[in-house]
Amino acid sequence: MLKLGEKVIIVDDRFEQNLPIGEYGYVIAYDRNADNIFEYVVRVPKAGRNFLVPGDDIEREDVLVRQEVDRIEREALIDYALMTRNEELFRFIMNGGEEQEQQAEESAEETQSPEDFVRQIRLKAWI
């Protein structure tokens, strides 16, 4: 739940209320009516009015800024990897770090004792 006075950005207009998408606003009230789908009252200074919005239509500003920074950082690393022809860095970025996790799992499987391996094979054969 967002706090009162928190700066938010309107990211969607699910109910086609002509919300100013991309504009910032401030949470000024909660709509506590259980029969209403709208959760917040948001004041948009640029529009000069208040809007009733559901929680999915707004997002905190710091979350959106963090997502944008992550996207720009990832694109810069991809550009750097391509310019330096660093294939390992490129694959790491494109896989999202999953490659190391897969290698760790493979190494854990390789250190399996022969008895565990035979037990696993018998279990699969039995099923």
What residues make up the domain containing 49? Answer: 7-60
Residue 123 lies in a domain: no
Residue 88 lies in a domain: no
Tens-digit pLDDT profile for residues 28-50 = 999 888 888 899 999 999 999 99
89: left (phi over 0), alpha (psi -120 to 50) or beta: alpha
Distance (Å) of CA 46 to CA 14, 112, 120: 21, 63, 65
Residue 121 lies in a domain: no
Residue 52 lies in a domain: yes
Amino acid 125: pLDDT: 72
Residue 92 lies in a domain: no
Amino acid 7: pLDDT: 94
User: Which CATH number do you get for residue 21?
Assistant: 2.30.30.40
Residue 44 lies in a domain: yes
Q: Rounded to two decimals, what is the model's pTM?
A: 0.62
Overall number of domains in the chain: 1
User: Residues of the chain whose pLDDT is less than 70?
Assistant: 98-110, 126-127
Residue 38 lies in a domain: yes
Amino acid 36: pLDDT: 86
